[in-house]
Every structure is written in structure tokens, then in C-alpha cells.
Amino acid sequence: MATSTGIYHRNYAAELRLRHTKAEKARLALMAVLLLSLPYILNVYWLGIVNTILIAVVGAVGLNILVGYTGQISLGQGGFLAVGAYTSGILATRSGLPVPLAILAAVLVTAGVGAFFGLPALRLKGLYLAIATLASQEIILFVVRRWTWLTEGKGYVEVHRLELFGWRVDRTMFEVQWYWILLVVAALAVYAARNLFRTSLGRSFMAVRDQDIAAEAIGVNLTRAKVTAFAVSSGFVGLAGALLAHYTETVTWERFTLDVSVLYLAMIIVGGLGRVAGSVYGAAFMMLLPAVLTEVAQRLSTVAPFLVEQLPAVKNATFGLAIIAFLLIEPRGLDRIWTRIKDYVRCWPFRY
Amino acid sequence: MSTFVALLVYGLADGAILAVAALGFVLIYKATRVINFAQGEFLLVGAYTFYTAFVLLRLPLVLAAVVGVLFATVLGVLVERFVLRPLIGESAISVIMVTIGLSTVLRAAVQLFFGTAVREQPDILPTGSIELGGVTVPLNRLLVVLIAGAVLAGFALFYSRSRHGVAMRAVADDQQAALTMGISVARVFALAWVLAAVSALVAGVLLADLAAVEQNIAAFGLIVFPVVILGGLDSIPGTVAGGLTIGLLKQFVSGYADPGLAEVVPYLVLVGILMVRPYGLFGETRIERV
Amino acid sequence: MNHPTRTRTTLIGLSAVTALTLAGCGGAATQGGGGGGGATGGPIKIGVLADLTGATGDVGTPYNEGMLAYIDWINAKGGISGRKIEADSNDYAYKVPTAEELYKKYVSSGAVAIQGWGTGDSEALRTKVAQDKLPFMSASYAEVLTDPKASPYNFVVAPTYSDQMRVALNWIAKDAGGPAEVAVFHNDSPFGTAPIGDGQKWLTEKKLGLTMSAYPMPKTPNFVGLLSQAKAKNAKYVVIQNVSSPAAQVAKDIKAQNLPMKIVCLNWCADELFIKTAGADNAEGHVLVQPFAPASANKPGNKDIEDYLKGKGSSLEAKGLHFGQGWWTMAIMAKGIEKAIKDGGNLTGESIRKGLETMDKVDTGGVVGTGEVKFSETSHRGSSGSSIYQVKGGKMVEIAANQVP
């Protein structure tokens, strides 16, 4: 129960609940209303951008599990996205597996690959781990580019339009139908991640992040925790990759370069490390930034024509500046900013 | 035999440039414990600054070099003061991300001012070739090795003999003790970044002279990682050894095996070294205190 | 002790904010196609994807300029059958996700045809344009795009990379006059590997007596290893399937090491940029296979372009042959649109496709391929011939015209 002096619980079940106060539940309801009404408000272009945000949310949540909650720095996102995308794409098109099974297989395969590349984490920490994952990114990308069996020599994998038990995604309602699918998947992913950190496995991840030697002393099996963290995180990322393959209907290596890994890291840094909601905010922010910039540049094209002419460079510069600005001003990200706003409103007119 | 010698010379030239680029990286790490993901972009900015001075402003070579060094100095000071200093004490991931953000901003800035077209620059190093034991060897590659060697040697002297060099070594060893001895740690940090920017300038200009002034120069920066891991993140002789090894390895793989493999071989070496000797061939083993 | 007033106030505040926001961005309700760009009258909307600042920006910029220049030129003459072309051209910097977003924007704003650019976006959008029924032309000359069964809405105006490779191999066989080894340096990507398989097949089919080895080119311009491998196999010819800048570097390396190798560039490095970047001395003597005639070939088809550019204070020589490439690619699409309008009915992507397939051959005045471009229901390959030039005195000099494989 929420009181003016704080939130108190009378039993463990109440403590574990995801939403404690009426205000939190109300905000959740409002958010649900907003999400349900989006397809009716936005046009096709913006709905498409929202769809890419939803896929990015799944990936960002996965990365946050690894980097934010377990403290293992990873630059290998792009590679794991590629593994998920290629697995799902190839299984769905070539072996005739029904799409949900192909996606499941992609999740499992990526989790396995992730666990394998997580083995260096048992020996390395911090910067060394970051560099090892950078190497894994480049190696996976090289394999993807050179292994001609993957693309049967074509250089890219073409994935058919999503088909589930005979029902096909329609051409005219493409974005809207995909929106519902992606919304459900993203919501489940977010919920699963949030749940993970109510369990002892999740807490063991956080223990590894905060004080791994002390954690080992109290009985947390470091090997199991780290490898599981890599596996779980890669599973989420593999799911995002598989969704990407089916949504964009082509799988090319250009979508999985180091820049993509950096983009996902930027999402969770800007959003807030170690908070699932942070991943959502960060994904939305980072994917909306270029789209909003394009709109602004076009509106200002008469006043400041260089914006449109140099749009890609301006987008890159803004991306870099956003990362630096957030790190300098609010290192704990959008999630912290939102928490501060909530606290301010809640405690006003008092300071705290 | 002649193939071997040709590959050797080209590999040494590339390796020498890598060593100079990696030198800056290691300097920053030793002094500040920061991993500079923007080292490649420092090379890029250095090359383009020199291009601007030498080609666009038509300054004589020496003056253009001085302008380049001045610009690199200012860049190093600004980056250290406004981007890195506020983040002292923050977690490793924050520092890594801020240098990654910096690299994106620098690359975008170069793109804004110069576009992505390849720029030509008149050759600074002579382009002729000489006969060495029956093999035609390009003169500019040999000169690159010599110049890089001179820079590295000059730096080694500075680091071991001059007052500032000793101060840097003191801060790298033990910041607290250096502070108590009256060494300005902030100045040493700034000096480390300045030297990194200047060494990147030299590497970038050499690279641009051998190849071209274009955005690909930044990609060279990624190969710095295998070099420093192989050599040891906090060892300068290690950097030289690592640079030459990686340069030669890439060249030989490209010459005798699959050229595409040459791009990924440094990363395979990186992973191998991390599994076997994480602190590199010459690095110092770190003892972790709880 | 609960504070009902506080939670209530928060609730009311948040609902108010949400309602205002929704109202603000509402009214943009599913803005579907803006009337198909005027099916029976009004401007013809075409979406243009360009790489101006990305990896291939140095050739993408003149191509895009040529395309927009043609549109400007034809609109000044009244447009196509009285209807002006309204082009929405955007820079996607060779980033495929950006190209996809732009494509969605064009579709939702009612474009009836799309002009793409590179292999990346052409591949990514191939099935989408087929399902959205929008004709798609680009500067990616991959074989798969010419087959209407595989890519029903793609049209390729120039000879494919495989066609160019066949022409190159024919010429090499003639020049070598006997068995010889050919090294193929290619971009490490699908664009680069596109002509290799077909090239090998051609060699066995036609028994040209040549042997071929392919080497992917690394991103960093260090081609010494490739050249030494080629030298070890005694290669006398180096076919390059890449853009001008790395090809120029190969030319410089060959000169520096005094290797007796002749470069045969396929269309993307067979241009003035190659000569300029390598330097006239280093480029001297190398051979360029180029389906689009440069200014120095003095073809009648380039006259309109020269006049237009003279009016703007420039020349085709200054802009480079890719300007003409963009101009003519758009001109050929315009002819298809003209036919579609003449056939009557609504102007849609489908009718334009029909127009392109059924129109008479387009006479390009010797500029594109062998000079004439023709599509049909069974082939979306506009032409298959290229001309061969050699670098003499820093210029492209034609040594063999209209070579068909």
C-alpha cells in the first residue's frame, strides 16, 4: 500500500508485484490505451518506424540483460542479430519449417552461439571483454559474408511473406498486421525480462555485476551465471534478428555491422543501464531520432538547406552528440530522467 | 623470393603505421586507463587536417605539418577537458561509449566538411622504386618504416628522459603517489591525449600518402585493438612488436592465402591471445583487489 | 494512509496530457496513397533513391544529378504528354534500412515508379516492388533483375555485369592470342561476385583458352598480396569489378612494382574518375569496358546533355559519364511512361510496366549499350552490348565499339 511516507508491503507476494501503486497502474493503463490506438492514428510510414522500434526493443532488452544487469560489456550485437536472422530465414524458406518453429530455433541457436562467445567472459573483464566481443562481431560477420551456403551464392537470403497456418500477412495492411504481431512479442519479451529479475537467477546476474568475488563467496556459481546471462541475452537478440528477417523479408550482412552493435549499446546507455524500461525508452529514442531529424530537415529545407543536403552526416553527428550529451549530463539515462520527474511531481512542493 | 621481400616490405610499412597509431592508444591507456575507441577517427581527422593545410590552403609542407600538429594538440586538449574529464570515475562502459560517441561525431564532422569522395593529395614521399637484391621495392614504403621508426624512437626518448615523460610514467604507475609528489595529473592526462592525437596525425598522413585521403582511414583504427592486445595494453615496446607482427601477418596471409581472410586474421589472433595470455606478450599482469 | 487526492491529481494530469498529445497528432489518420499521383492527370510522382554521401557517393552524385537534370529538362519542354514529373529524391547513403524507410514513404505518398541505385537497395526492395507493383530501375546491373519471372517489376537498362564480363573476356582472348591467365579482383560483396560464376561458364562454353582466378579486394587499399598471388600465377590481365578508387590504387601498385599486367575495368571503374584518381601515367594503357558512352566518344545521344549542361556553365566532360548514365536511365523510364499514357487508362505502376515492356526500342544515339534499348515481356534486359575504351593520354579512347557477348 502506498502512503505519503512510502510504499509498504504486508506480504512477499505484494512485494514482488510489478506495479505497486495506483498511479503506476494508471500509467500502465494509459500506455496500453496509447499502444492499442497507434495503428489508427499513425500513417504507414510512421507505423513502419514504430515496428522497427518494437523489434529494437526486443534486442535492446536482451542487450541490457547482459550489459546492464550482469555487467558484461558486449560489442557483438550485430553478429548475434545476424545469427538469429539467418537461422530463421534459412529454416523458414529452405526447410519448410513453420515460421514460429523457425523463430524458436533461431532463438535457441543464437543462445547457443552466445553462450559459446560468452566463454571468454569467464576469464576476462571490462575492457578486455569488450575487445573480445568486438573480435567476435568481426569474425561472425566475416563468416556470414563468406559462407556461401548461407545465401546459396546469391549474397542475400530472401524470406517469404510471413505465413501462419495458412493466413498470410496482407500487402495493404502489412504494417498494421505486423504492428500487432510485434507489439505482442515485444510486450512478452519485456514482461519476461522483468520477471527474470524477480527470480534468483536474475539476482545472481546482478550480483555478478556488483561484486562478483563476493557473489562467489556466498555461493553464486559464476560460470553458470555468466554463461547463462550470455545465453539468455543472445536468445532475446536472436529473436529480434529473426523478427527482422521476417519483417524486412531480406537478410543481408549489411544490416549486422559493428555500427548496429554500437547503435544497440547506445540505446541502452541512453535509455538506462540495468532497467528494462530503460531499454524501451532508449530503443524508441534512438530509432526515432533519425526519423525526426529527416522531418525537421525537410521542414527547414528552405531556411537551412545544408541540413537536407548533408542529412546522413547530420544524422551521424546527432547520434554521436546524443550519446556524449547523455553520458555527460545524465549517465543513468532516460529512465533516470523519468524517475526524477515522477519523484518531483510526487513530492512537490517538497524537495524529497 | 622476390614475392617474399615485396610482401615483407609492404607488411612492415603497414605494421609501422599501425605501431604509430597504436602508440597513442597505449599512451592514453597507460596514463588514464581509458580505452580510446576514437583512435581511428583521430587518424582520419589528422589526415584531413593535413590535406586542408597542404592541398586546400596550399601551404608549404613544413608549415602544413605544423598546422596539423597544432590542430591535433588543440583537439587532444579539448577532448580530454570536455569529454573525458567529466567522466572520471564512471563505469568502464560509460567511458567506452563516450569514446564511441566521439568517434561518430568526428567521422560525421569530416563527412560534413569534406564529403565521402576520395580526395587526392600530391605525393609527399617519393614514389620511385629501388632495386633491393633483385626485387623492385617502392621507396615510399621504405621511408614510411624509417619515419615511423624515428617517431617511435623519438617518443621513447621523450618518455624515458624528459621531465614530462617521467611525469607521465609516474602517473601511469601510481596516480596517488604522483599527486603527492606535486605532479599535475590533469596536465598529464591532457598531454597523453595530445600525444595520441599527434601520433595519430603522423600515422594518418603516412597512410593517406600511401593510399588516399578518404573515409577508409578510420577503419585502420579498429585494427589497433589486435595490435595492443597482442603487445600488451600498457607496454610501448609491446605496441611496436604487436604492430609489426600484425602488419606482416596480414600481408603474408593476403599474399599466400585468401586475401579476404587477411581482414579477419588480426581478430583471430586477438581472440587467441586473449585466451592464452590476456595481458599480451609484453603486458603487465594485473592483480585484482577486492 | 492513502492520499487519494494526490493519486487522483496525477491521474487527471496524465490523462489530460495524453489526450492533448493524441489530439495533436491525430487527424493524421491513416494517410494512405495520395491519390496515386493523379491517375488521370496531374504530376507523375516518382521516388528516387540516391547515394550522395555514402560509400558509392562519388559516382552516385553525378548519376543522381543527371537523373534530376533530365527531369528538369523534360519538364521545361512540357513534361510527358503534358504531365510534369514530380521527383522526390533523397540520399540514403547506401544504408539499406534507410532505403527501405524512404521506399515506404514514397509508396504512401503515391509514387508510380521508383528509381533506385545500388545492389543493396535493389535486392532489398526487389520483392516489395513486385508486390506493390511499382516499376524499379536502378544502377545495379545484376543478372537476376533482368528475368521477369524472378523480378517482374525490375528493369535493367544496361548490360548486366555478366554481359560486361563476357565482353571483357572476349576482348582479352583476342588480345592475348593464346592461353593466358586472368585475375579477377572484385569487391567483397554480392555486387563484386555477381559476374564471376557466369564468367567461368563463358570460358568453358566458348573455349576461349583462358584461365580465371578470383580475388576479393579488402576494404583497406592494400592490394599487394592480391597482385603477388596474381603474379605467381603469371596473370597478364586483371579484370576489376569494383568502383574507381580501389581500381586506381591497383593501377598505382602495378606501376610501382613494374608488373606486366593490363587492367580491364568493368563499368563501375571504367570512367574518368579512375583516370583522375590513378593519375594519367598510372592509368595509361589500361582498358575500360563501359556501356555508357563518355563525352570523349562524341556520340550523338549525348548532344542534348551537352547543350543542357552548357546552359548551366558545365560540360559532360566535367561531370563524367555517370551523369549521362543517370540522364538516360530516367529518359528510358520516361519513354515507358509515355507509352503507358498513350495506351490510355489510369497511370499506375502496372500500366507503366506494360508500357516499358511493349514500347518500341529507344534510340539512345549510341550512348547506352549498342545504342538501342528494348524490353519485352520475357526479358527486362535493355541491352547487352558495351564499348571498349583504352586510356590514351589521360582520356578514354574507343578501341572497340558495340561489343555484344
Q: How far apart are CA C224 and CA C253, in angstroms?
A: 7
Instruction: Give the model confidence (pLDDT) of B34-92 as tens digits.
Output: 889 999 999 999 999 999 998 888 888 889 999 999 999 999 999 999 999 998 888 88
- Per residue in B11-26, pLDDT tens? 899 999 999 999 999 9
pLDDT at B1: 64
- Which pLDDT tens digit goes with each residue over B249-289? 998 988 888 777 888 899 999 888 888 888 888 877 766 65
When CB atoms are compared, the residue of A4, A52, A312 closest to C91 is: A312
Torsion-angle region of B203 (φ positive above 0: left; ψ -120 to 50: alpha; else: beta): alpha
Chain B residues near residue A139 by CB distance under 8 angstroms: 264, 267-268, 271
CA dist., res. A238 & res. A12, Å (int): 34
Instruction: Give the ipTM of the model, two decimals please.
Output: 0.88
Q: Which amino acid is residue C78, in one-letter code?
A: G
Check CB contact under 8 Å for B116 and C277: no
Residue A21 is classified by DSSP as S
Residue range C248-305, pLDDT digits in tens: 889 988 887 788 899 999 988 888 888 888 888 888 889 999 988 888 888 888 888 8
Retrieve residue C136's grid coordinates: 524499379
- Report whether C226 contacts C247 (CB < 8 A): no
pLDDT of residue C40: 64
Are C228 and B255 a contacting pair at CB < 8 A? yes
Closest Cβ opposite residue C120 in set A4, A254, A311: A254
Whole-number pLDDT of residue B99: 93
Task: Find the domain containing B190 and state its range.
Answer: 2-215
Say if B286 falls within a structural domain. no
Least confident of B175-179, C9-13, C169-173: C9-13
- Relative to beta strand C235-241, strand C262-265 is parallel
CB contact B210 to A (< 8 Å): no
How confident is the model at residue C379, as a pLDDT?
A: 87
Predicted pLDDT at A282:
95
Strands C44-50 and C85-91: parallel
Which chain A residue has its CA at the smallest distance from C144's CA? Answer: A154
Q: Per-residue pLDDT averaged across B165-188, rounded?
A: 89
Contact check, Cβ <8 Å, A320/B225: no
The mean pLDDT of chain A is 89
**B265 assigned to some structural domain:** no
C61, C224, C245: residue with CB nearest B10: C224
What is the C-alpha to C-alpha distance for residues A271 and A193, in angstroms, rounded to an integer?
Answer: 16
Among A211, A310, A316, beta carbon nearest to B104: A316
Does residue A236 have a pLDDT over 90?
yes
pLDDT tens digits for range B192-237:
999 999 999 999 999 888 877 888 788 888 889 999 999 888 788 8
Beta bridge partners of C211: C181
pLDDT at position C37? 42
d(CA B201, CA B21): 8
How many contacts does A have with C, using Cβ atoms within 8 A? 116
CA distance B139 to chain A (A): 33
Confidence band, pLDDT 50/70/90 cuts, at residue A130: confident
Q: How far apart are CA C403 and CA C387, in angstroms?
A: 6
Q: Return the minimum-mean-pLDDT range out of A75-84, C50-59, C156-165.
A: C50-59
Average pLDDT over residues A275-290: 94
Using DSSP, state whether A249 is helix, strand or coil.
coil
Q: Does pLDDT of C184 surpass 80?
A: yes
Query: Shortest CB distance from C226 goes to which of B250, B259, B263?
Result: B259
pLDDT (0 to 100) of residue C34: 38
Are the Cβ atoms of C57 and B10 closer than 8 angstroms?
no
Average pLDDT over residues C360-366: 86
| pLDDT tier, A320 (very low <50, low <70, confident <90, very high otherwise) | very high
Asked whether residue C111 carries a pLDDT value surpassing 50, the answer given is: yes
Asked if residue B264 belongs to a domain, the reply is no
CA A350 to chain centre: 36
Pairing relation of β-strands C136-137 and C180-187? unpaired
Does the pLDDT at position C138 exceed 70?
yes
Number of domains in chain B: 1
DSSP B56: I
Other C-beta atoms within 10 Å of C168: how many?
30
What was the pLDDT predicted at C9?
A: 59
Residues in chain C closer than 8 A to A26 (CB atoms): 7, 10-11, 14
CB contact under 8 A, B10 and C222: yes
Phi and psi torsions of C27, nearest 5°: 80, -15
C-alpha span between B257 and C3 (Å, rounded): 75
What local confidence, expressed as pLDDT, does residue C317 receive?
83
- C36 Rama sector, left if φ>0, alpha if ψ -120 to 50, beta otherwise: left
Residue in C with minimal Cα distance to B220: C220
Residue B276 near chain C (CB below 8 Å): no
pLDDT tens string A254-266: 889 898 999 999 9
Neighbouring subunits of C (3+ Cβ pairs under 8 A) = A, B
Q: Which tens digit of pLDDT belongs to each residue from C24-58? A: 443 333 333 333 444 567 889 999 999 888 778 88
- Give first-to-last CA distance, chain C, whole Å: 89
Q: Nearest CB to B116: which of C57, C215, C257?
A: C57
Secondary structure (H, E, C), B154-201: HHHHHHHHCHHHHHHHHHHHCHHHHHHCCCCHHHHHHHHHHHHHHHHH
* pLDDT of the residue at C57: 81
Query: Which residues of chain C are within 8 Å of residue A313 when distances are taken between CB atoms?
Result: 53
Least confident of A163-177, B65-79, B99-113, C350-364: A163-177
Backbone dihedral angles phi then psi of residue B239, each to the nearest 5 degrees: -60, -45
pLDDT exceeds cutoff 50 at C1: no
A124 has a chain B CB within 8 A of its CB: yes
CA distance A103 to A244: 11
Position B275 in a domain: no
Contact between A266 and B101 using a beta-carbon 8 Å cutoff: yes
Asked whether residue C12 carries a pLDDT value surpassing 70, the answer given is no
Which residue in chain A is spatially nearest to C51 when comparing CA positions?
A312
Out of B35, B100, B226, whose CB is closest to A323? Answer: B100
Using the structure block, give the residue that is written with the C-alpha cell 554521436. A320
**Ranges of each domain in chain A:** 25-257
Is the distance from CB of A37 to CB of C22 less than 8 angstroms?
Answer: yes
Q: Flag whether residue A214 sits within 8 Å of chain B, measured between CB atoms.
A: yes
List the subunits that have 3+ CB pairs under 8 angstroms with A: B, C
Residues 111-130 of B with CB under 8 A from A: 111-112
Place of cell 590533469: B186
Lowest mean pLDDT among A5-14, A192-201, C169-178, C281-290: A5-14
Write out residues 18-57 of B within 8 Å (CB-CB) of A. 35
Of residues B3, B6, B27, the one with CA closest to residue B234: B27
Report pLDDT digits (tens) over C64-99.
999 999 999 999 998 888 889 999 988 888 888 888
Q: For A210-224, what is the mean pLDDT?
A: 90
Residue B37 lies in a domain: yes
pLDDT band for C8, please (50, 70, 90 cuts): low
Confidence at residue C7, expressed as pLDDT on a 0 to 100 scale: 56
Instruction: Write down the pLDDT at residue B237.
Output: 87
For all residues of chain C together, what is the average pLDDT? Answer: 84
A43/C30 touch (CB, cutoff 8 Å), yes or no: yes
Question: Inter-chain contact C245–B120, Cβ cutoff 8 Å?
Answer: no
- Which of B136, B220, B259 has its CB closest to that of C215? B259
**What mean pLDDT comes out for the span C160-177?**
90
What pLDDT score was predicted for residue C18? 56
**CA distances (Å), origin B3, targets A312, B252, C180:** 43, 10, 21
Under 8 Å CB pairs connecting chains B and C tally to 86
User: What does the alpha-carbon distance between residue C6 and residue A272 come to, in Å, rounded to a whole number?
Assistant: 28
Summary mean pLDDT of chain B: 87
Tell me how far apart the alpha carbons of residues A43 and A341 are, in angstroms, rounded to a whole number. 31
**pLDDT tens digits for range C207-251:** 888 889 988 888 777 788 888 888 888 889 999 998 888 898 899
Residue B33 has pLDDT above 90, yes or no: no
Q: Torsion angle of alpha carbons B168, B174, B177, B183, nearest 10°?
A: 20
In this predicted structure, the answer to whether residue C23 has a pLDDT above a threshold of 50 is no
Does A43 contact C25 at a Cβ distance shorter than 8 Å? no
Could you tell me if residue B268 is inside a domain? no
- According to DSSP, the residues that pair with A3 across neighbouring strands are A6
Alpha-carbon span C330 to C324, nearest angstrom = 10
- pLDDT, position C53: 80
* Contacts with C232 from chain B: Cβ below 8 Å: 3
3 state SS of B284:
coil
Q: Parallel, antiparallel, or unpaired: how do β-strands C180-187 and C235-241 relate?
A: parallel
A43 and C1 in contact by Cβ < 8 A?
A: no
Q: Does B248 touch chain C (CB under 8 A)?
A: no
pLDDT of residue C27: 35
CB C195 within 8 A of CB C241: yes
A148 C-beta neighbours (distance < 10 Å), count: 11
Question: What values do phi and psi take at B135, rounded to 5?
Answer: -115, 135
Mutate to test the interface with A, among C98, C107, C350 (most CBs of A within 10 A): C98
pLDDT above 50: residue B166: yes
Using left for φ > 0, alpha for ψ between -120 and 50, and beta otherwise, residue A165 falls in left
Contacts of C104 in chain A (CB under 8 A): 44-45, 48, 175
| Mean pLDDT to the nearest integer, B156-172 | 88
